[in-house]
Amino acid sequence: MEIKYTVQGLLIYIAMGAYLLAFVTTLLRHRKTGRVLYLFGFIVAVLSFGYRWYDVGHVPLQNLFEVFLCLGMIYPVTLFCYRFLRVGGLCGDMLIGAIVLLPAGFVFNAEPQRLPPALQCWLFVPHVAVYAISYIFMAKATFQAICELAGTRHNGEENLSGPEEGTCRMICMGFPFLTLGLVLGSWWGKVAWGDYWGWDPKELWSLASWLVYVGYFHFRYMFGKKYQHLNSVWAIAGMTVIVVTLLWVNLSRLFAGLHSYAT
C-alpha cells in the first residue's frame, strides 16, 4: 500500500473522498447534498482520467491502475439506470465508486508505461472499454442482488423496480457489453497472436464469467421468479468470477499467461 504524492494521486483521493461523503450524507437522508457531492466526485474522477490520458499520451486503459481509474467514473451509469431503467441503488453506486478508486489510489503502481507492440491495435480501447462498462453494470446488478437477498427495499423512491427485477435489468444491460468484450478480445487475439482462443487463464476466467450469466438467464427462464434468491445467487456468483478475472488472474502468480502485462 502506498500513498501517491502526485497531482494524479491528489485527484484520486479527492474523488474518493467526495464519493464517500456522498455515501454518508445520502445514508443520513441528505439526498440532495449527497447527489451534489457525487456529481463533484465524478467531475474530479473525469479530471483524473483526463490527466492520466495527457500524461501517458494514449487512452489510459493499459493496466489495472488505469482500468480502475476508468471504473471510478460511474456517475453516468447511475444516472442512466435511474432515469431510463428505473433502477435505484444510488447509495450503492457511491460506495462502488469509492471502492474501485481505492486500488488505483493505494495499491497499483501509477508509473506511466509505453504501449507494448501487442497493445498498439484499434481493438485495444473498445475491448477494454466495453468490459469496463459491463463490469459497472454487473457491479450494480450485484448490489441489487444483495438487496434482494437481504430483503431490503428502496426507501422513499417511487416507481423504482424491485431488487430482483433491478438485478435482471442490470444484467440485461451489462451482458451484451460482456459478450462484445469477449468477442472483441477473441478477434484481437487472432490479429495479434494468431489464435482467436488461446486457453489463457484470463480468457478462461472471462469465459467462465460470461457463462455464469448465460446460466443466470437460463435458470431465470426455467423458474421465473419462483426462486428469486437463487437468481440473485447466480448474479453474485457472476460478479465473484469477474473479480477473479479482473484481479486475481493478473495479481496471482498462479495464472501467468498472455495477459500478465496488464498488471
Partner 1 sequence: MSRFRKVIMWAGLALIILLIALSIYGAFIGAERAQKLVNTLPAAVYWSAFIFILTAGLAVFKRLIRVPALSLIHCGCILTLAGAMWGSEAGHKMQSQLFGIDKIPTGQMAIYEGETENHVAVEDVEQIKELPFSIKLKDFRLEYYKPEYLQVRSRDGEGWKVPVEVGTEFSLGEDFGTVTILRAFENFKIRIEGEQRIITDDPASGHNPALEVRIKSPAGDKETRYVFERFPGHTHAEDELLLSYRRVIRDYVSELEIIKDGKVVAEKNIEVNHPLYYGGYHFYQHSYNAEAGQYTILMVTSDTGLGLVYAGYAMLCVGVFWQLWVRNIFARKKKIK
Residues at the contact surface with partner 1, assessed by CB under 8 A: 84-86, 114, 116-118, 120-121, 169, 172-173, 175-176, 179-180, 183, 186-187, 190-201, 204-205, 207-208, 211-212, 214-215, 218-219, 221-222, 249, 254-258
Q: Return the number of the residue (148 or 200) whose C-beta is nearest partner 1.
A: 200
48/144 with CB nearer partner 1 = 144
- Cβ nearer to partner 1, comparing 32 with 54: 54
| Sign of the dihedral defined by the CA atoms of residues 20, 22, 26, 30, in that order | positive
Instruction: Considering the complex, state which of residue 22 and residue 130 has its C-beta at the smaller distance from partner 1.
Output: 130
Neighbours of 7 (CB within 10 A): 12
User: With respect to partner 1, which residue has the nearer C-beta, 114 or 229?
Assistant: 114
Whether 138 and 242 have beta carbons less than 8 Å apart is answered as yes
CB of 199 to partner 1, least distance (A): 4
C-alpha cell at 161: 423496480
DSSP symbol at 60: S
Which residues lie closer than 8 Å to 106 by C-beta, 6 or more apart? 1, 2, 3, 4
Q: Which residues contact 9 (CB under 8 A, 6 or more apart)?
A: 3, 105, 110
Contact 68, 101 (CB under 8 A): yes
DSSP 8-class letter at 115: P
Nearest distance from residue 78's CB to partner 1, in Å?
16
* 7 versus 80: smaller Cβ distance to partner 1: 80
- Round to whole Å and give the CA distance between 252 and 263: 10
Cell 433502477 found at: 87
Shortest separation between residue 32's beta carbon and partner 1, angstroms: 25
List alpha helices for 85-200, DSSP H: 90-106, 124-150, 163-193
